[in-house]
Amino acid sequence: MLLAIDWTLPLKNPVLIFSLVLFVILFAPIVLQKLRIPGIIGLILAGVAIGPNGFGILLRDASIELFGTVGLLYIMMMVGLEVDLQDFKKNKNKSLIFGLFTFIIPLVFGYLAGRYVLAFSQVSSILFGVLLAPHTMLAYPIASRYGVSKLLPVNITVGGTIITDTVALVLLAVTAGTTTGEVGAGFWLQLAVSVILFGVLVFGLFPRIGLWFFKRVEDNVSQYIFVLAMTFLGAFIAELAGLEAIIGAFMAGLALNRLIPHTSPLMHRLEFVGNALFIPFFLIGVGMLVDLKLLLNGYTSLLVAGTMTVAAVLSKWLAAWAAQLAFKMNKYDRRLIFGLSVSRAAATLAAVLVGFKLNLLTEEVFNGAILMILVTCLVGSFVVERAARKLAIIEANNAPAQEQQLSHRILVPLSNPETVASLIDFAIFIKPTGNKTPVFGLSVVREDDADGNEMNRGKKLLEQAAKYAAGTDSKMELLSRVDVNITNGIVFTAKEQNISDIVIGWNPNPQVTDKLFGGLMTHLLRRTDQTVVAIRSFQPLNTIRRVLVVVPENGEVEPGFMGWLELVRHLAKQTDAELVFYGSQKLEQRLLGLLKNKKTTFVFKFEERIDWEGFLRLEKAVLPNDLLLVISARKGTLSHTTGLDKAPAQLSNVFNKNSFAILFPEIKGYSDRASNLQLDPSMRTPIQENIERIAKVGKYVKKAFGTGEQP
């Protein structure tokens, strides 16, 4: 059998080829990272070594090209998914300016180099400039790994990439059309109509399809395949519109961005599979294109390759420097922009192939472009590795004051298998970015569980929670407790673990005994001073489009105001949902004051509501994809009213088809909480309290009338 396998080079056995590529993906980054060389460079150099222009171990055949195409589109899709849409919209003008910088400067450099250094014709010089303008964010996974992918330099580079690549590829089409005599009114009309239709289909239809799909399908594999299918559909539609597939993949990712939160299990699966398989295949394929022997073909080849590489690197550095001056950024921001925008790949290959086929560019230019791709990819990876590490350290040291002060430790009591996923999602979404504290999952078993059924049920719940949390790549600490009742278990666990926030599921069907003696929520609020949130969700949180926050009078002066505001802010940011506050003018003034003093940052709308009972009139305003969040209050606090006591029942009755939550802010700022708010831990019920009140009144009356004193 061993002799039956063809061992001649290049290898032809598909099993052996795939096995070899996997070992390259495994060991190349490990070996080179020990030499402080980024793993991306290791994969490119490995492609050079094993490719047809290296040791000839593998051919760059159709399978390598297919996986490479998937990897490139995967990178662009991930860029679109990870973009912070709020920052993207806020910085759209900066992205436009940088896009013009990073297109015009390389275009001018390329034209001058082609015209006056290499003595090309007018049209060939323009095309030579077009080769240098577009870039591929090949080093984006490095920035993402260091957690700086949402910073301003990355944000404007993403926008600038789409602008420069689109303009460059359109100019390429115009140049090719001019050469073949196809440019006319019909050409421009067809291009405009196709691009408009592409935008309408992707941004009008894709989000609606995604929302419909994610609300109905919870299977992990199906969700993953759906995202890939939509990505490649977007890439194909872009090609039909006369654009490059990479633009379609990015736009598809951008269209699905709102539906795939960065901390969701689906996002982590997308990142894992891409980084493990598809993206490395693309990098190896890029390396296989390089032929270092071309440098030995004579003075002309060396001159062309050197001119292209120097012009490519220098022009992108100048564009990054111009952006630094225009936007008043630091040197590390400039280096990150330069590193992300200097790498060339797909768009450059497309341009050089078109020019070569039209006889506008020589074979030396084609070979020089391949070498330029290698050098720029190496330079970009090195620069981004160092700049991203430095910026990550700076960001950690300059974290917002409120996120340093508010160390949220979230406890999630688990009792219903159907709500495990939604509760864990909610806890992860409200946790501040960068908070390394795990979410605490708790199962409480009553000590009268003689047959052990509750114990077994609790273990299964914790196993389910652990499996789900692992899929989100979030830390979760699982706790199990035996106590006299559920409330005791939650209360004492919260004290032992120094919990700041408790997230529980909504009980839609309270028992008769709960109504008479007070349910879990009633007892929990009496015996804790932490933030308590009860949530009922009818749909995945990633499909929520608006968070409607109803705030009572004086809610903005409560000690727990900043705490719940941060939770709400992070919830809206993770789900990319619109934030709408309903409250008094004092609340609006407080929110605007926080923004003005830079105490926090978020975008919101405000609707004035004078009467607390008026929130019931929001029934028609609450849409199917909204989350209604009511900020309530414990008795004895500044914002408490009798109307708030009815809120839970009213929410269940009026908004019975909507997702909602009710939040009780922490009350640690009240000096009298020990006597007024944190009652006797012996589980005094409403009936017991009424009996005690009657007894006190009886004693008072007996004393007053029995001694002849006036009451």
Q: Where are the beta strands (DSSP E) in 484-601?
A: 501-505, 531-536, 546-550, 578-583
Residue 265 sits in the same domain as residue 413: no
Q: Which has more pLDDT, 391 or 178?
A: 391
Cβ atoms of 371 and 294 within 8 Å: the answer is yes
- Domain of 388: which CATH number? 1.20.1530.20
Long-range contacts of 218-222 (CB under 8 A, 24+ apart): 218/540, 220/265, 220/266, 220/269, 220/471
Rounded to two decimals, the pTM is 0.74
Q: Categorize the per-residue pLDDT at 299 as very low, low, confident or very high, splitting at 50, 70 and 90.
A: confident
Helix (H) or strand (E) holding 439: strand 439-446
| Distance, C-alpha 84 to centroid of its chain | 7
The string of pLDDT tens digits covering residues 674-711 is 333 333 333 344 444 444 555 555 555 445 545 443 32
Asked, for residue 1, whether it belongs to a domain, the answer is: no
Residue 601 sits in the same domain as residue 660: yes
pLDDT at 508: 62
Residue 675 sits in the same domain as residue 709: no
pLDDT at 450: 61
Cβ atoms of 441 and 424 within 8 Å: the answer is yes
Residue 389 sits in the same domain as residue 406: no
Give yes or no for residue 424 having a pLDDT over 80: yes
Asked, for residue 50, whether it belongs to a domain, the answer is: yes
User: Nearest-CA neighbor of 149 among 347, 395, 376?
Assistant: 395
- Please, what is the end-to-end C-alpha distance for the chain in angstroms? 107
Asked, for residue 581, whether it belongs to a domain, the answer is: yes
Domain extent for 515: 399-536
Q: Rounded to 10 degrees, what is the CA torsion of 596, 601, 605, 610?
A: -60
22 Cβ contact list (under 8 Å, min separation 6): none
Instruction: Give the integer Cα–Cα distance in Å for 577 and 548.
Output: 10
Residue 118 sits in the same domain as residue 255: yes
Last residue in a domain, options 366, 397, 428: 397
Residue 61 sits in the same domain as residue 156: yes
Q: Which DSSP string corresponds to 250-289? A: HHHHHHTGGGS-TTSHHHHHHHHHIIIIIHHHHHHHHHHH
| Distance, C-alpha 353 to centroid of its chain | 36
Tell me how many helices (H) and strands (E) the chain has.
29, 10
Provide, rounded to the nearest whole percent, the portion of the chain with pLDDT above 70: 85
Least confident of 217-231, 398-412, 540-554, 568-582: 398-412
Q: Is 627 helix (H, G, I), strand (E, B) or coil?
A: strand
Q: What does the DSSP 8-state code read for residue 432?
A: P
Asked, for residue 623, whether it belongs to a domain, the answer is: yes
Asked, for residue 4, whether it belongs to a domain, the answer is: no
Q: Categorize the per-residue pLDDT at 600 as very low, low, confident or very high, splitting at 50, 70 and 90.
A: low
Q: Is 450 exposed, middle or buried (0-12, 13-18, 19+ CB in 10 A)?
A: exposed
Cβ atoms of 64 and 58 within 8 Å: the answer is yes
Q: Categorize the per-residue pLDDT at 336 as very low, low, confident or very high, splitting at 50, 70 and 90.
A: very high
Residue 364 sits in the same domain as residue 467: no
User: Nearest-CA neighbor of 341 among 524, 125, 95?
Assistant: 95
Q: Categorize the per-residue pLDDT at 68 as very low, low, confident or very high, splitting at 50, 70 and 90.
A: confident
Least confident of 79-93, 200-214, 524-538, 558-572: 79-93
522 Cβ contact list (under 8 Å, min separation 6): 514, 686
Q: What does the DSSP 8-state code read for residue 8?
A: P
- Domain of 522: which CATH number? 3.40.50.620
Instruction: Give the integer Cα–Cα distance in Å for 373 and 472.
Output: 35
Least confident of 92-96, 189-193, 212-216, 471-475: 471-475
Q: Categorize the per-residue pLDDT at 518 as very low, low, confident or very high, splitting at 50, 70 and 90.
A: very low
Instruction: Give the integer Cα–Cα distance in Å for 129 and 125.
Output: 6
Phi then psi for 99, rounded to 5 degrees? -60, -40
Residue 415 sits in the same domain as residue 288: no
Residue 84 sits in the same domain as residue 231: yes
Average pLDDT, the chain: 81
Residue 622 is encoded by which pair of tokens?
């609450």
Q: How many residues does the chain have?
A: 711
Last residue in a domain, options 342, 377, 397: 397
The string of pLDDT tens digits covering residues 395-411 is 767 654 444 444 678 99
Cβ atoms of 154 and 183 within 8 Å: the answer is no
Provide, rounded to the nearest whole percent, the portion of the chain with pLDDT above 90: 20
Give yes or no for residue 172 having a pLDDT over 50: yes
Instruction: Give the integer Cα–Cα distance in Å for 288 and 48.
Output: 5
- Domain of 615: which CATH number? 3.40.50
Overall domain count for the chain: 4
pLDDT at 614: 58
Instruction: Give the integer Cα–Cα distance in Å for 581 and 101.
Output: 40
Least confident of 100-114, 406-420, 692-706: 692-706
How many other β-carbons are positioned within 10 Å of the β-carbon of residue 315? Answer: 25
Helix, strand, coil percentages (3-state) for the chain, rounded to 5, are 65, 10, 25
**Section 223-251 average pLDDT:** 89
Q: Which residues are bridge partners to 629 per DSSP?
A: 549, 661
Q: Rounded to 10 degrees, what is the CA torsion of 76, 80, 83, 85?
A: 160
Give yes or no for residue 180 having a pLDDT over 70: no
Q: Categorize the per-residue pLDDT at 233 as very low, low, confident or very high, splitting at 50, 70 and 90.
A: very high
707 Cβ contact list (under 8 Å, min separation 6): none
Last residue in a domain, options 536, 563, 589: 536
Residue 92 is encoded by which pair of tokens?
């759209």
Instruction: Give the integer Cα–Cα distance in Å for 17 and 399.
Output: 47
Asked, for residue 8, whether it belongs to a domain, the answer is: no
Q: Rounded to 10 degrees, what is the CA torsion of 33, 37, 38, 44?
A: -110
pLDDT at 515: 43
**Section 551-555 average pLDDT:** 88
Instruction: Give the integer Cα–Cα distance in Å for 323 and 340.
Output: 13
CA distances 640 to 364, 533, 589, 680, 689, Å, are 78, 16, 20, 21, 20
Q: Write down the residue that tokens 């693309």 correspond to.
A: 282
**Section 611-629 average pLDDT:** 76
- Could you tell me the strand order of the sheet in which 626-631 lies? 476-483, 439-446, 410-413, 501-505, 531-536, 659-664, 626-631, 546-550, 578-583, 605-608
Residue 72 sits in the same domain as residue 162: yes
pLDDT at 599: 64
Instruction: Give the integer Cα–Cα distance in Å for 625 and 578.
Output: 11
Q: Categorize the per-residue pLDDT at 130 as very low, low, confident or very high, splitting at 50, 70 and 90.
A: confident
Asked, for residue 207, whether it belongs to a domain, the answer is: yes
Instruction: Give the integer Cα–Cα distance in Å for 460 and 440.
Output: 16
Q: Categorize the per-residue pLDDT at 42 as very low, low, confident or very high, splitting at 50, 70 and 90.
A: confident
**Section 346-353 average pLDDT:** 71
Q: Which residues are bridge partners to 606 per DSSP?
A: 581
The string of pLDDT tens digits covering residues 480-507 is 988 888 889 999 999 999 999 999 988 7
587: amino acid identity, one letter: L
Give yes or no for residue 385 having a pLDDT over 80: yes
Q: Write down the residue that tokens 């089409």 correspond to.
A: 173
Give yes or no for residue 611 having a pLDDT over 90: no
Asked, for residue 7, whether it belongs to a domain, the answer is: no
Q: Which residues are bridge partners to 442 per DSSP?
A: 413, 479
pLDDT at 547: 92
Which region holds residue 412: left if phi is over 0, alpha if psi is between -120 and 50, else beta? beta
Residue 140 sits in the same domain as residue 233: yes
User: Nearest-CA neighbor of 422 among 563, 509, 543, 519?
Assistant: 543
How many other β-carbons are positioned within 10 Å of the β-carbon of residue 494? Answer: 24
Residue 373 sits in the same domain as residue 346: yes
pLDDT at 298: 67
Least confident of 102-111, 145-154, 408-417, 615-624: 615-624
Give yes or no for residue 105 having a pLDDT over 90: yes
The greatest distance separating any two alpha carbons of the chain, rounded to the nearest whole angstrom, comes to 122
Find the radius of gyration of the CA atoms of the chain. Answer: 31
Q: Write down the residue that tokens 């980024």 correspond to.
A: 38
